[in-house]
Amino acid sequence: MIAQGWRTGLLAAAVVLLFAVYVLLGSYTVTIPDFFKILIAHLTGGERIPGASFIVMENKLPRAVIGTMIGVAFGLAGGLFQTMLRNPLASPDVIGISYGASAAAVTAIVVFGASGAAVSGAALVGALGVAAIIYGISRGGSLGSGGGNSGNAAGNRLILAGVGIAAALHAVVNFLMTRADIRTAADVLVWLNGSLNSANWDRATMLSLALLVLIPAVIALAGPLRILELGDDAAAGLGIRVGFTRLAVVVTAVALAAVATAAAGPVAFVAFLAGPIARRVTNKASLPASALVGALIVLAADYFAANIAPLLLDGTVLPVGVITGALGAPFLLWLLVTANRKDA
């Protein structure tokens, strides 16, 4: 327990360090004294440093803040799904939640010409709507009201239903892309890859308010979820309302993934990667570690995309989702290979 707490503390320190690197270094560097001077001037209405104040307060800092928060949200969402269903493939990317947000957002952009907050709202509604459909389909034997194997069976149904719906929604997105003009298609493509380019303080405020509600919900569910890992029968014998707990976990996880997707688009594989990596760092399933690993992945990927990729690609700035997607694909293959070796 002490070792796990120590390793989680190291992850937290790594997030703080990477956050500082993200804000202070990169294509435009800022010294620590100048950063605090800029921050204090912004908060008190004092004299601003021309150029530097705008870059730090309107670009770097809100981008780092939103990157950290969506990393935490995706990490917690993936950790909740993977812990409840006891399956490393159970993440919003794989089971269709992100595709629900994408299909709704692309429909809003292409069909209704929406932009900004309207796109984020459509993504939020789409994610929640698809989650409700997937949950309803998977509840053939209820997502956990029953014996030891019924929860696993329902969990497998949820994953399979999500994969099927994700495939259908992917086709919808592709169809809408063929109907869009070049400029709209380019905007849609950036959103679909997940990007922090539209980060601002308004989005940061809305995301922080959502997390102020959802993180306490995760804390309240952590104890019952830990007992639920013992199996449905054992959990019910210990007084846990299995069906209600599973529903609460699904709603909370979906809401976390939905608000993160609404803020920055479906940043690929963060929810999928965070839980297994955290488990390998702490040697145990840990929601705090999953949240911290999610933040580390997003901050590191966006720093690379915004500052290092342009040096390698003749000035091309990549969306953060391109980098996380490149990380997630080989990790998924490695996970499948190692699972096959264990089963052999």
| 267: DSSP letter | -
Q: What is the pLDDT of residue 240?
A: 85
Q: How many CB atoms lie within 10 A of CB 246?
A: 28
For residue 128 the two structure tokens come to 């929640």
Contacts of 83 (CB under 8 A, 6+ apart): 225, 229, 275, 285, 287
Using alpha carbons, select from 6, 123, 120, 21 the residue that is nearest to residue 64: 21
> Residue 280 — left, alpha, or beta (φ > 0 → left; ψ -120 to 50 → alpha)?
alpha
Q: What is the pLDDT of residue 2?
A: 59
Helices H / strands E in the chain, number of each: 15, 0
| 141: DSSP letter | G
Q: What is the pLDDT of residue 156?
A: 76
| Cα–Cα distances in angstroms (integers) from residue 39 to residues 29, 31, 34, 55, 87, in the given order | 15, 12, 8, 12, 44
Question: Whole-prediction pTM value?
Answer: 0.91
Q: How many CB atoms lie within 10 A of CB 89?
A: 18
> Averaged in consecutive runs of 10 residues, what is the pLDDT profile of the chain (344 residues)?
78 96 92 92 84 91 96 96 84 86 91 85 90 81 47 71 89 91 86 89 93 96 88 81 87 92 90 90 90 96 92 86 87 71 53
Q: What is the pLDDT of residue 69?
A: 97
Contacts of 170 (CB under 8 A, 6+ apart): 99
Mind giving me the DSSP string for 189-210?
HHHHH---TT--HHHHHHHHHH
Q: What is the pLDDT of residue 274?
A: 93
Q: What is the pLDDT of residue 342?
A: 55
For residue 274 the two structure tokens come to 């965070």
Q: What is the pLDDT of residue 169?
A: 92
pLDDT digits (tens, 9 = 90+) for 112-121: 888 878 888 8
22 — phi, psi (to 5°)?
A: -60, -45
Query: Is the Cβ–Cβ distance between 101 and 255 less than 8 Å?
Result: no
> Distance of alpha carbon 115 from its chain centroid, rounded?
21
Q: How many CB atoms lie within 10 A of CB 40?
A: 10
Q: What is the pLDDT of residue 144?
A: 43
Q: What is the pLDDT of residue 136?
A: 83
Query: What's the rounded Cα separation, in Å, for the pair 60 and 51?
Result: 12
Query: What's the rounded Cα separation, in Å, for the pair 249 and 81?
Result: 8
